[in-house]
Amino acid sequence: MSRQFAVVTTFNEQGLAAYGERFLAAFAQHWPREVTLYAYHEGKKPDFQSDRIKYIDLEASCPDLVAFKARHADDKEVQGTLDDGDYGYRMDAVRFAHKIFALTHCALSIEAEVLFWLDADSVSFADLPLSLLDQVMPEGVYTSYLGRPHTYSECGFVGYALSHPRHREFMEFWRQLYLDDSLFELPEWHDSFVYDVIRKTFEDTLPDFKTHNITANDPPSDHPFINSVLGQYMDHLKGDSRKEQGKSFGDDLMQERQEDYWQDE
């Protein structure tokens, strides 16, 4: 018998219009009926309705996010403004705080055995079997992730075992970085870098903390999402150029794909 799975994501009104509506419809069409999506929206509640999608107002449910943003409203340095005036996403703590507060709120409040974070700029194009979710989140591990050999993980898809004895400790540790601003002691402030720091800290210090790198046996890639087993069912339109095209690029693929979705690449 399969475990009880859930998915969480977040988007603002601009993201809802640009890619969120497509994401919601594709989830309802292609994900197993047993899986519930928790969609944290900033601003307008989506019109799309499904009995498997629960909408949560992000700011109403996460007052600590509102406080974090207010505290740093005039601090351009933590909003990605570099010394030369250019923008650097790696230092945009405010942008990625939405994701962390949505994730931690959901992970500490819902009833499920496994929760997957899934970026809302991803597209499900084929029916996902429950066996896939079991495959990418093996029994006995706390978190599964899309690793990259020479840089931070790709956190458009990450799994968490909510019944793991270290679950609450992990999530509260992560949230606390934003509550007391200790996040800014790290060299980078985006979600993927911070996730890796926390994951590696727990791996190095806790014998019962096991993890799973989904991409361990896949070709090295800057776009591991689509080059992993997930690419049989989903695409991730990370970055503005892929969003504009509505699809990942052909040269993102490091292995041959047989799925119809990829055949015009």
Q: What is the pTM of this model?
A: 0.96
- Averaged pLDDT, 88-112: 95
Q: What is the mean pLDDT of residues 213-226?
A: 94
Question: In which band, very low, low, confident or very high, does the pLDDT at 107 lie, cut at 50, 70 and 90?
Answer: very high
Rounded to an integer, the average pLDDT of 218-241 is: 94
* Mean pLDDT, the chain, whole residue set: 96
- Judge whether residue 135 has pLDDT over 80: yes
Q: What is the mean pLDDT of residues 177-202?
A: 97
Q: Is the pLDDT of residue 140 over 80?
A: yes
pLDDT > 70: what percent of the chain? 99
Please give the domain boundaries of the chain with CATH numbers for all domains: 5-262 (3.90.550)
What per-residue confidence (pLDDT) applies to 261? Answer: 96
What is the average per-residue pLDDT within 101-124?
98
15-44: average pLDDT: 98
Q: Three-class SS string for the chain? A: CCCCEEEEEEEEHHHHHHHHHHHHHHHHHHCCCCCEEEEEEECCCCCCCCCCEEEEEHHHHCHHHHHHHHHCCCCHHHEEECCCCCEEEEEEHHHHHHHHHHHHHHHCCCCCCEEEEECCCEEECCCCCHHHHHHHCCCCCCEEEECCCCCCCEEEEEEEECCCCCHHHHHHHHHHHHHCCHHHHCCCCCHHHHHHHHHHHHHHHCCCCCEEECCCCCCCCCCHHHHCHHHHCEEECCCHHHHHHCCCCHHHCCCCCCCHHHCCC
Residue 265 banded pLDDT, cuts 50, 70, 90: low
Band the pLDDT of 210: cuts 50, 70, 90.
Answer: very high
Q: In angstroms, how far is CA 129 from the centroid of its own chain?
A: 20
Give residue 75's pLDDT: 87
Q: What is the predicted pLDDT for the residue at 1?
A: 66
Average pLDDT over residues 232-243: 95
